[in-house]
Amino acid sequence: MTEADWEALREAAREAMSRAYVPYSAFPVGAAARVDDGRTVSGCNVENASYGLGLCAECGLVSQLQLTGGGRLTHFTCVDGKGEILMPCGRCRQLLYEFGGPELLLETTSGIRPLGEMLPDAFGPQHLN
Ligand SMILES: O=c1ccn([C@H]2C[C@H](O)[C@@H](CO)O2)c(=O)[nH]1
Ligand SMILES: [Zn+2]
Residues framing ligand 1 (Cβ under 6 A): 22, 25, 27, 29, 45, 47, 54, 56-58, 88-89, 92
Give the containing element (helix H, strand E) for 95: helix 90-100
- Which residues have a catalytic role annotated? 58
100 C-alpha to ligand 2 centroid (Å): 16
What pLDDT was estimated at residue 94?
98
Can you give the pTM of this predicted structure?
Answer: 0.97
What percent of the chain shows pLDDT beyond 70? 100
Q: What is the mean pLDDT of the chain?
A: 97
69 C-alpha to ligand 2 centroid (Å): 23
> What is the tens place of the pLDDT at every residue in 52-107?
999 999 999 999 999 999 999 999 999 999 999 999 999 999 999 999 999 999 99
Give the containing element (helix H, strand E) for 100: helix 90-100
